[in-house]
Structure 1
Amino acid sequence: MNEPAQHMDVGAYALGVLDAAEAARFEEHLADCSRCAAELDSALGLTPLLADLKESAPDPGVLIARPRPALLDGLLARVVTVRRAQRTRRLCLAAAAGVLIVAGPLAGSSFTSQNAPSHSTVSAAKAMYEEGEKIGAVDPTTKVDASVSLQEKPWGTHVALKLANVRGPLTCDLVAVGRNGERQTVTTWAVPAAGYGLQGAGADKWSKEPLYTHGGAALNRNDIDRFEVRTLDGKLLDTIKV
C-alpha cells in the first residue's frame, strides 16, 4: 500500500473496518505520520456516527463487519466536514486573541483618543501602572525612559511598566533581578519600527504614546534589587534601581 493510500485509511481504521494486515500496515505508517495521527485523534469521535451506521443495517441485531462503500464514504465525509468547521473556529479564535495581545497598547490608545477620557477607558496596563509605587530611570546612553509601578502580592510583586523614547523594531523583556542575583522575566513585548513615547519631528500620534505593559515576579518587593529592560539578543536598554 503506497503512502497516499495510507493517508486515506484514517477513517476506516477508526471505524475498525480494515482487516488485520491493512490495520498493521496503517499502524506502522501512523508511527511516523503526524498528519494521520492528528486526523485519527479527531476521527475517534465517531461514536454518534456509528449509531447511524447501526440504524442503517437491514437487521439491527446483526453486527456488520464492513459497511457499504457509499455509507462509509458518507460517514467519512461528515467527519471531514465537522473537523474543518472545528479547525476554522479554532483559527478564528486564535487570530482574534493574537490581535488583542499584539495590538493591546495601540487599541487602548485609539479607544481613549476617540472617546471622552476617563479611568474606565484607559488600557488595563496603564490603570495598573497608575495604582502602584512608581520608580523610574532614563539610561544616559540609550536615552530610553522606563519606569515601573510595583504592588506587593501574596505570590510576589505585580509590576507594570511604562516605556518611552525607544525605537524599533525590537523584541524586549523586563527582568527583575533579586538582591541574591536571581533573575526572573516579568514580561516580554515587541517594539514596532515607529517606536514608543517619541517626541519631536517625525513622531506620529501612535509613536508619541508610551508603551504600557505588565507582568509579575515571584520575588517579594523588598528582595528586588533592580529591573533591567533588555532586548532578547542581550542589549541593555535601561536599568531601574529599586
Structure 2
Amino acid sequence: MNINPHHLLGAYVLGGLDAVDLTLFEAHLQDCAACRKELAVLEKVPMLLDSVPVPDAMALSGVPGSNGVPGREAADANAPGRLLDELARRRRTLRRRWAALAGALAAACLAVGLAVGPLLVRPPQPDATYSVASGGGLQVNIDMARKTWGTELAVSGSSLPAEGTLSLWVRDRAGAEDRACAWTATPSGKVKVTGATPIQLGSISSVELRDGAQRAVAVITVP
C-alpha cells in the first residue's frame, strides 16, 4: 500500500508513528517545505496538544483504527488544520470548565466564611464580669480581662451623671489606687469605654466610678 507522507504529519506530532512510518516521514520532511511549515505551526501549541488524550487526537489525524476510519488512506491533506481547530476547541472547553469549578469553589468558600466568620471575629470572653445598680436607674457593668501587663477593663453604663468628667479607679488589696480611664459625661447618661491598669486581676479589691468632684458614683467590690 502506497502511503502519502503528507498524511502522516498529525500522527508524527502526536508520537503515533511506528518505526517504519517514522523513518519514512522524517526522510520526507527533509525535502518537503510544506510539511516543515505545518510542523512549525503545530510545535507552537504544545499546551493544546497536552490537553487532549493521545488516542483522541490520533483519531482526528486519520490514524488507522480510530473512530471507524479504515486506514491512513482515508485521511486528507487538511488533517493537521482540523487537528489544530479541534484541539483549540477542546482547550477552550477545558478553560470554561476550570472557570466554572473555580467559581463553585469560591462560592463554597464564601459560604463557609459567612458561617465561620462570626466565630473567628467574636471578641474574647472576659475573665471576670461585675455589675452594680442603684434605685435611681444607674447601672454599671465591667468586664475584666487578664493581660501580661495588668488588666483590661471594658466599661458600659446607663443613667450615669450627664455632666462633668467621670473616671474609673482601681484599688489593689494593699490599698493602692490607679486610674484606669476617664471620659466626659454624655447627655444620654450612657457610656462604653475601655480602660487599663497595671494591677493584675487577682490583686484587684474594688473598682470605683467617680464624678468630677471625685465623689463615688458606683463601687464594685471584687471578692
Q: Shared topology, TM-score over 0.5?
A: no
More relative contact order, 1 or 2 (CA 8 Å, 6+ apart): 1
Bigger Cα Rg: 2
With normalisation by structure 1, the TM-score equals 0.39
Q: TM-score, normalised by structure 2?
A: 0.42
